[in-house]
Amino acid sequence: MGLPHPSVEQLDLATILGVLGDPTRLGIIAYLARDEGTPLACGGFLDLGSKTNLSYHLAKLREAGVTRTEVAGTSRLISLRRDDLDRRFPGLLDSILASARHLPAHAGLEAR
Amino acid sequence: MGLPHPSVEQLDLATILGVLGDPTRLGIIAYLARDEGTPLACGGFLDLGSKTNLSYHLAKLREAGVTRTEVAGTSRLISLRRDDLDRRFPGLLDSILASARHLPAHAGLEAR
């Protein structure tokens, strides 16, 4: 059984910005944006925080509609809701990702 | 004497997104964006909340570096820090303003 996700119509700008107003969560979406076709398991973000901490942040991102979490056996696969976000708020995700790339904390992500 | 404002170098993406993750503050920047050349006094936002409430939100926006508040006699004049934000995070402010314009709560702002 899948986890709950808001529909495209339920995506709320203030909620999304509020959830992205956190360095760890910005780090997570920057990771996911590196290879958007490939969902990441929670372990893919472990250098951003402890597993408990990440579970909390990943739930926040899912509940705001920024990411999709698919349950696959014992793992959870996380991806950006790129199409839904672009449809509802054109250009927003890209401008946030571009801004996040300039952050010193994410300098490692620039060297792809 | 002026109120404190962060420098361009101090502008922080997570802080800015967090502060904009609020419907009243999105409403305030949408108001300011309608006529960017003309700073607004606090009274210009009174349909968005009480004066006390607005003072709180305007201080949050100023402290995050989204707006500039100039003290002019007994009034305070508020404007968007458009140039500083565009220099630091190109495209971010415009994409947020464009997304805010689609919100039902700001439908009145579309009819300019």
Give per-residue pLDDT as tens, B22-68.
999 999 999 999 989 889 998 888 888 898 999 999 999 999 999 99
For the record, the structure tokens of A19 come out as 């959830």
A100–B13 C-beta distance less than 8 A: yes
Its ipTM equals 0.89
Looking at chain A, the whole-number percentage of residues with pLDDT higher than 90 is 70
Compare all CA atoms of chain B with the CA of A25 and give the residue at the minimum distance: B14
pLDDT band at A62 (very low <50, low <70, confident <90, very high): very high
Predicted TM-score of the model (pTM): 0.90
Domain A10-102 adopts which CATH fold? Arc Repressor Mutant, subunit A (1.10.10)
Show Cβ contacts of residue A75 under 8 Å, excluding neighbours closer than 6 positions.
A41, A42
Is the pLDDT at B111 greater than 50? The verdict is no
Nearest to B14 among A22, A89, A94 (CB): A22
The dihedrals phi and psi of B95, each to the nearest 5 degrees, come to -70, -35
Give per-residue pLDDT as tens, A17-44.
999 999 999 999 999 999 898 899 988 8
* Cβ–Cβ < 8 Å for A1, B87: no
3-class DSSP state for residue B91?
Answer: coil
Least confident of A70-74, B76-80, B94-98, B103-107: B103-107
Is the pLDDT at A3 greater than 80? The verdict is yes
- Give the whole-angstrom CA distance, residue A9 versus residue B87: 32
Integer-rounded Cα Rg, in Å, for chain B is 13
3-class DSSP state for residue B35?
Answer: coil
B92–A95 C-beta distance less than 8 A: yes
CA nearest neighbour of B100 among B8, B2, B29: B29
DSSP-derived secondary structure letter, A22: S
Residue A7 C-alpha, separation from nearest chain B C-alpha, in angstroms: 16
Show Cβ contacts of residue B79 under 8 Å, excluding neighbours closer than 6 positions.
B32, B36, B38, B39, B40, B67, B68, B70
Give me chain B's average pLDDT, please.
89
The dihedrals phi and psi of B11, each to the nearest 5 degrees, come to -60, 130
A26–B15 C-beta distance less than 8 A: no
- Residue A83 exposed, middle or buried by CB count within 10 Å (0-12, 13-18, 19+): exposed
Nearest to A98 among B26, B91, B100 (CB): B91
If one counts every other C-beta atom within 10 angstroms of the C-beta of residue B54, the result is 20
A89–B92 C-beta distance less than 8 A: no
